[in-house]
C-alpha cells in the first residue's frame, strides 16, 4: 500500500504552519494585519470553524502522516534499523538549527521563544536534546521543535509495543490513549513542584499521531472495524479531556480542527492526480522538515527589516524567499548528506528502510 498523496499533504501542512506563524506574529505580536490573513480568517476560521491562525492544522497533518507511515515502517523493520533511519533524518538538521538559534540569540539578532532574555550554557546544551522544554519555566530557543518530542515519544512507543503491533496492532493506540489520559490527569492533580507541563502537551498531541496509525491499520486490513472504532473513540476521549482541562494552548476548536484534518488526510493520502506531481509541491514536500526548522528563525527579522520598504505583502514574499533559500541549504548540505553518511554505517546486507514517512514531521 502506497501513500501517493503524502507529498501533497506535506505541502498543505507546510503552508498551514508557515501561515500560522505569520498570522500569530502580525496579529498577536504586532497588532497589525494583512489581506491574506483576512481572507483565510473569513473562509477557514469564521466559516470553516478551524482554530484561529489555523493553529495546529499543519502540525496535525504532519502528525497524522507520521502515525500512518511510521507504523508501517515499525512493523516491517527491526528496532535498530527503525531508530537509525529516524535519527539519520531528524537529528543532523535539528542540531544545526538549534546551534543557529543559539548563536542568533547570543548575537542579539533573535529573541527566545520563551520568557527568558537569553540562554545559559546549560540551557543551550539541554536544547540539543529537547531538554529545555521540560524545565520549569520552559526554555525554548527554537519553539517549533517541541513537535520532535511528540514524534520521538511515538517512535519509542512503537518500538516498545512492536510485539503488539505485529500481533494485535489496534491494541497499541487504545493503550496509548489510556496512557495519554493518565499523563494529563497526573499533571492536573499532583502537587505543582512534581508536574511536568510538557508531558501534557505531548499527551494532548499524541492522539493525532495515533489517529494516523489507525488510518494505516484500517487501510492495511490489520484490525477489525469494531476495534478500530474503539481506538478512534479512545483518541477522541483524550482530545475531549485535553480540551475540557485547557491543556491545548491556542484556540477552542481542537476537536473540530482534528476532525477536519483527519478527513483531509483520508481523502488525499492515496491521491495520485496531477497536483501531487507538481514540481513545486514535490520540492516543498522534500524540504518540509528543513522549512519547518528554519522558518521562525527567518520570519521576524526579515519582516521587520522589509516591511517599511516594500509593505506587508512584499515583506512576506521576502520572508518566503529567504526561508526557501535557507531551507534548501540545510536540506542539500546537512540533511541529505548526513543521512546518507549515517545510514552507510549499517551493514549493506541489511538495508535500512527509509520510507517517505521519515520526512514527515518529520515535521
**How do the domains of the chain map onto residue ranges?**
5-310+320-344
What pLDDT does residue 349 have?
A: 52
* Helix, strand, coil content of the chain in percent (nearest 5): 75, 0, 25
What pLDDT does residue 1 have?
A: 65
User: For the chain, how long is the longest CA-to-CA vector?
Assistant: 61
192 neighbors 148 (Cβ within 8 angstroms):
no
DSSP assignment letter at 163: H
List the grid coordinates of 328: 534548501
What confidence tens digit (pLDDT) does each residue in 221-248 have?
999 999 999 999 999 999 999 999 999 9
What pLDDT does residue 345 have?
A: 82
What pLDDT does residue 357 have?
A: 38
Residue 210 vs residues 9, 251, 258: alpha-carbon distances, Å = 17, 22, 12
In angstroms, the CA 41 to CA 81 distance is: 44
What pLDDT does residue 353 have?
A: 47
217 neighbors 225 (Cβ within 8 angstroms):
no
In angstroms, the CA 85 to CA 158 distance is: 14
Q: What is the CA radius of gyration of the chain?
A: 20
Residue 352, SS3 per DSSP: coil
What pLDDT does residue 252 have?
A: 82
> How many CB atoms are located within 10 Å of the residue 162 CB?
18
Indicate the burial class of 343 (C-beta count within 10 angstroms; 0-12, 13-18, 19 or more). Answer: middle
List the grid coordinates of 18: 508557515
In angstroms, the CA 222 to CA 218 distance is: 6
- For residue 137, whether the previous peptide bond is cis, meaning omega lies within 30 degrees of 0, is yes
**Given phi > 0 = left and psi -120 to 50 = alpha, else beta, which region is 301?**
alpha
Residue 181 vs residues 61, 162, 177, 195, 204: alpha-carbon distances, Å = 22, 21, 6, 15, 8
Positions in the chain whose pLDDT score sits under 70: 1, 348-363
DSSP assignment letter at 274: G
In angstroms, the CA 123 to CA 227 distance is: 44
6 neighbors 65 (Cβ within 8 angstroms):
yes
What pLDDT does residue 250 have?
A: 73
Amino acid at each position: 500500500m502506497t501513500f501517493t498523496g503524502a507529498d501533497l499533504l506535506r505541502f498543505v501542512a507546510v503552508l498551514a504552519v508557515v501561515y500560522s506563524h505569520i498570522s500569530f506574529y502580525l496579529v498577536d505580536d504586532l497588532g497589525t494585519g494583512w489581506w491574506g490573513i483576512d481572507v483565510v480568517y473569513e473562509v477557514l476560521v469564521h466559516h470553516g470553524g478551524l482554530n484561529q491562525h489555523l493553529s495546529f492544522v499543519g502540525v496535525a497533518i504532519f502528525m497524522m502522516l507520521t502515525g500512518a507511515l511510521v507504523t508501517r515502517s515499525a512493523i516491517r523493520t527491526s528496532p535498530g534499523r527503525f531508530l537509525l533511519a529516524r535519527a539519520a533524518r531528524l537529528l543532523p538538521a535539528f542540531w544545526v538549527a538549534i546551534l543557529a538559534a543559539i548563536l542568533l540569540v547570543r548575537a542579539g539578532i533573535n529573541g527566545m521563544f520563551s520568557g527568558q532574555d537569553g540562554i545559559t550554557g546549560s540551557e543551550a546544551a539541554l536544547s540539543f536534546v529537547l531538554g529545555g522544554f521540560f524545565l520549569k519555566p520552559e526554555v525554548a530557543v527554537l519553539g517549533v521543535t517541541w513537535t520532535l518530542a511528540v514524534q520521538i515519544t511515538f517512535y519509542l512507543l512503537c518500538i516498545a509495543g512492536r510485539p503488539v503491533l505485529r500481533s494485535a496492532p489496534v491494541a497499541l493506540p487504545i493503550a496509548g490513549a489510556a496512557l495519554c489520559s493518565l499523563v494529563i490527569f497526573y499533571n492536573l492533580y499532583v502537587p505543582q513542584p512534581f508536574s511536568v507541563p510538557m508531558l501534557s502537551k505531548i499527551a494532548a498531541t499524541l492522539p493525532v499521531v495515533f489517529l494516523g496509525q489507525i488510518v494505516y491499520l484500517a487501510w492495511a486490513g490489520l484490525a477489525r472495524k469494531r476495534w478500530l472504532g474503539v481506538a478512534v473513540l479512545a483518541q477522541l476521549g483524550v482530545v475531549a479531556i485535553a480540551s475540557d482541562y485547557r491543556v491545548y494552548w491556542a484556540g477552542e476548536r481542537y476537536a473540530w480542527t482534528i476532525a477536519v484534518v483527519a478527513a483531509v488526510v483520508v481523502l488525499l493520502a492515496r491521491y495520485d492526480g496531477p497536483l501531487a506531481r507538481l514540481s513545486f509541491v514535490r520540492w516543498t514536500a522534500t524540504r518540509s522538515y528543513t522549512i519547518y526548522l528554519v522558518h521562525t528563525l527567518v520570519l521576524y527579522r526579515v519582516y521587520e527589516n522589509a516591511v517599511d520598504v516594500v509593505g506587508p505583502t512584499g515583506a512576506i514574499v521576502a520572508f518566503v524567499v529567504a526561508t526557501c533559500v535557507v531551507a534548501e541549504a540545510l536540506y542539500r548540505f546537512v540533511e541529505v548528506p548526513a543521512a546518507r553518511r549515517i545510514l552507510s554505517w549499517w551493514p549493506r546486507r541489511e538495508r535500512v528502510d527509509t520510507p517517505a514517512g521519515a520526512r514527515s514531521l518529520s515535521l
